[in-house]
Amino acid sequence: MAVNYKVEWPMNLGAPADSLEAKQPPVDDGLDVPDPARYYTREFMDLEWQRLWPRVWLLAGVTSDVAEEGDYFVFEIGSEEFIISRQPDGTVKAFYNVCPHRGNRVCMNERGSVARFTCTFHGWQFGCDGKLQRITDEETFNPRLIAHRPGLTEVRCAVHAGLIFINMDGRAPPLHEYLGLPAGYIENYEIDKMHVVHHVRSAWRANWKTGVDAFYETYHLPWVHPQTQGVMEDFSQYDLYPNGASRMIVPICVKSHRVPDQERVDPYLQFMLKEAGIDAAAFSGTAREVRAAVQQAKRARARRVGLTHYDRFTDGQLTDSWATGLFPNVQMGMHPEGVFIMRFLPHPSDPEQFYYDTMILYRHVEDPDYTVPAWMGLPEGIDVTGATRPDIVHVPLGQKPNLGEVLDQDSELLPIQQRGIRSRGFRGPLWGEQEQRVRHFHRELDRYIEQDK
Ligand code: FES
Ligand SMILES: [Fe+2]
C-alpha cells in the first residue's frame, strides 16, 4: 500500500533496516470502516469479555512493585482481580483474587507484603504460592469436599524486561512472541531498574478504545494541544508490528513544521536546553539545532553518571518519545530517563466508561544535574528515589485528573467525542495514514472478535 501523505518527517528513513528506529515496512490493514457500535454497546463489550480479554497477555504491573519475596499487588480489569505475588525462588506468580471457599476477595489492599494470604470472611489461609495452608475448623468439613486442598486459582504469568503480564485462558502464544516487538526494543530501557514514582487512575466517560485511539496518533496535536507546537513535531513516524503492536516516534526538542519561524529559540526550547544542562543564554544555534544539542548533552551526562546502557540508544531516543503500543490496551511513552505507562482499563459494566491508569516509572540517578524530565508532569514534592511506592491516586468520573496540561486536555475532549460517536448520524471512523496505528489496533481486535485468532 502506498503511503502518499506528505511528510517532512520521519527522520529515520535512512536508518539501517535492522536498527530499532528504522521505519517498518507498510502493512495493509485495508480500508474497512468499522461499525461505531463497538464503542458503546453492551453486546460488543460482552464479546470483548468472551473473546478478547481472556485470550490476550495483559500488562498487570512492573517487577519493581514486587521486588522482595512476599510482595504482592492486585491487578484489576473489568470485574476481574488478580494477585501478583513474588515467590521465594524469585519467580512471579499470579492468582485470581478469589477465595475458593465462597468466592470472597482475598486481598483487600492494592499492594503489600505478607507471609501468607488470609481471607477476611472465614480466615482460610493460602501461601504466597497460592497453596492452601489452613482451613478454619477443618474438622467440621467432610474430608471428601476438601480432599483436593483448594488453593487460589493460578493464572498464567510471564515477565518481560521488567513488565509482568498475565493471560487468563492460558492459551496465548509465548509472551515474547505475542508482543511482536524486536528483541532489545523494551529491554534496552532497563525498566526493571525503574520505580513507580506516581500512579493515577482516573475514570473517563468514554469507551476504552476511544481512549486507545486518541493516544495512538499525533494528528490531533495542533488542534487539541496547540501549545506542543513549540517543542514537538506532530508528523510522527508511525510503525506497525505483528499482533497489533505499533509505535510512533514523536520528535521532541523541535518546533512543529507548522510553525513559520524555525530559527528562533523560544522559551519552550530554551527550557529543553536547560533541562539537558545546557546554558540556554549562551546557546548560539538556531531552533533547528536544539534537538542535536540536547542529544549530545544527554549522552555526555549519561557517561558522566555511569549510565552505560545509554550506549544502546540512538540519538533520537534521547530526545524523542517512542510511544509504543502493546495490544490491546497499553501504551508506553519510552524515554531513557523513565517510562510513562498508560493502560486503558474497561469499566466492569459500562461500555462508555474506562479507567485511564497512568504509571510514571523513573530511574533515579544520584547526581544534581540529572533531573526528572518535565514531560513526565510530576507534581511538586514527589519522592523520585524509589524508596517509597506511592499509593494509587483515584480520580472519580467528572473530576479533572490533574495529569498535566496535555493529558487534561484529552480528558476534556474524550467524553465529547464519545457522545458524538454514539449519534445516529455517525457512520464510523475514517482513519488517515497518520491514524494507521488506530486501524492496525482495530484490525487485530477484529481478529479476536471474529475468532480468527
Ligand atoms: S470465603 Fe474465604 S474463607 Fe470463606
Ligand atoms: Fe492528546
For 219-229, what is each residue's pLDDT tens digit?
A: 999 999 999 99
**CATH code, 58-171:** 2.102.10.10
CB atoms within 10 A of CB 424: 5
Average pLDDT over residues 8-29: 83
State whether the beta carbon of 77 lies less than 6 angstroms from ligand 1.
no
Mean pLDDT of the chain: 95
Average pLDDT over residues 92-106: 98
Predicted confidence at residue 1, as pLDDT, reads 42
The CA 103 to ligand 1 mean position distance, Å, reads: 7
Question: CATH classification of 1-55+185-453, choosing from 3.90.380.10, 3.40.30.10, 3.40.50.11890, 3.90.340.10?
Answer: 3.90.380.10
Has residue 264 got a pLDDT over 70? Answer: yes
Q: What are the residue ranges of CATH 2.102.10.10 in the chain? A: 58-171
Average pLDDT over residues 53-68: 98
Summarised one tens digit per residue, pLDDT across range 161-215 is 999 999 999 999 999 999 999 999 999 999 999 999 999 999 999 999 999 999 9
Summarised one tens digit per residue, pLDDT across range 119-154 is 999 999 999 999 999 999 999 999 999 999 999 999
Separation between Cα atoms, residue 60 and residue 58, nearest integer Å: 6
Predicted confidence at residue 51, as pLDDT, reads 98
CA quadruple 289, 291, 292, 293: dihedral sign: positive
pLDDT band with cut points at 50, 70 and 90 for residue 373 = confident
Which residues are bridge partners to 95 per DSSP? 83, 154
Q: What are the residue ranges of CATH 3.90.380.10 in the chain? A: 1-55+185-453
Nearest CA among 430, 346, 358, 438 for reference residue 394: 358
Measured by CA distance, the residue closest to atom 4 of ligand 1 is 122
Measured by CA distance, the residue closest to atom 1 of ligand 1 is 102
pLDDT band with cut points at 50, 70 and 90 for residue 377 = confident
Predicted confidence at residue 277, as pLDDT, reads 93
Predicted confidence at residue 6, as pLDDT, reads 54
Predicted confidence at residue 10, as pLDDT, reads 56
CB atoms within 10 A of CB 98: 18
CA quadruple 165, 171, 174, 176: dihedral sign: negative
Has residue 57 got a pLDDT over 60? Answer: yes
Ligand 1 atom with least separation from CA of 136: 3
Predicted confidence at residue 368, as pLDDT, reads 84
State whether the beta carbon of 124 lies less than 6 angstroms from ligand 1.
yes
Summarised one tens digit per residue, pLDDT across range 351-364 is 999 999 999 999 99
Average pLDDT over residues 377-386: 90
Predicted confidence at residue 2, as pLDDT, reads 45
Predicted confidence at residue 247, as pLDDT, reads 97
Predicted confidence at residue 3, as pLDDT, reads 47
State whether the beta carbon of 96 lies less than 6 angstroms from ligand 1.
no
Summarised one tens digit per residue, pLDDT across range 418-436 is 999 999 999 999 999 999 9
pLDDT band with cut points at 50, 70 and 90 for residue 11 = low
- Strands (E) in 91-190, as ranges, are 92-96, 111-113, 116-118, 125-127, 132-134, 154-160, 163-167
pLDDT band with cut points at 50, 70 and 90 for residue 4 = very low
Ligand 1 atom with least separation from CA of 124: 3
